[in-house]
Amino acid sequence: MTDLEINIALDELSTALTHVKDKKLVQEFLKCILTTSEIGEVTSRWTLVRRIKDGQTQRGIAKDLGLSLCKITRGSKELKKDDSAFGEMIDIYENHLTKQ
């Protein structure tokens, strides 16, 4: 796929996901579209960034999750950006939890 085709498909996928209200449907969709290994990668990145945001040390996260410090440092750098999508998604998730 070309970069343009990838961007178009990503836009379509993002649009579809933003309109889904059924959490189980999203989970099943992710299980269909991603391999078990890819799900592991995505969820470990989500977990490490949440732990960084919660103030856990990078070394502690590396030990707990079995991840390289390089991967954790990358997540930390992404989280520190002013327009961090990671940070915004975590905020959305945490705000959802407080409303329940």
pLDDT tens by residue, 67-97: 999 999 999 999 999 999 999 999 999 998 8
Q: Are residues 59 and 82 in the same domain?
A: yes
Range of the domain at 4: 1-33
Q: What is the mean pLDDT of residues 45-55?
A: 95
Q: Are residues 68 and 93 in the same domain?
A: yes
**Please, are residues 28 and 39 in contact by the beta-carbon 8 Å criterion?**
no
Q: What is the pLDDT of residue 87?
A: 93
Q: Are residues 50 and 10 in the same domain?
A: no
Q: Are residues 21 and 47 in the same domain?
A: no
Residue 92: count other Cβ atoms within 10 Å of its Cβ.
10
Q: Each residue of 4-46: pLDDT tens digit?
A: 999 999 999 999 999 999 999 999 999 999 999 999 999 999 9
Q: Are residues 24 and 1 in the same domain?
A: yes
At residue 65, what is the residue type?
A: L
Q: What is the mean pLDDT of residues 41-57?
A: 95
Q: Are residues 92 and 65 in the same domain?
A: yes
Q: Are residues 86 and 44 in the same domain?
A: yes
In degrees, rounded to 5, the angle at the alpha carbon of residue 68 between the alpha carbons of residues 64 and 52 is 60
pLDDT at 57 over 80: yes
Tell me how far apart the alpha carbons of residues 62 and 74 are, in angstroms, rounded to a whole number.
Answer: 12
Residue 39: count other Cβ atoms within 10 Å of its Cβ.
14
pLDDT at 52 over 90: yes
Q: Are residues 23 and 46 in the same domain?
A: no
Q: Are residues 26 and 73 in the same domain?
A: no
Q: Are residues 53 and 93 in the same domain?
A: yes
Q: What is the pLDDT of residue 14?
A: 97
Maximum alpha-carbon separation in the chain:
42
Count of structural domains within the chain = 2
Q: Are residues 52 and 97 in the same domain?
A: yes
Q: What is the pLDDT of residue 98?
A: 81
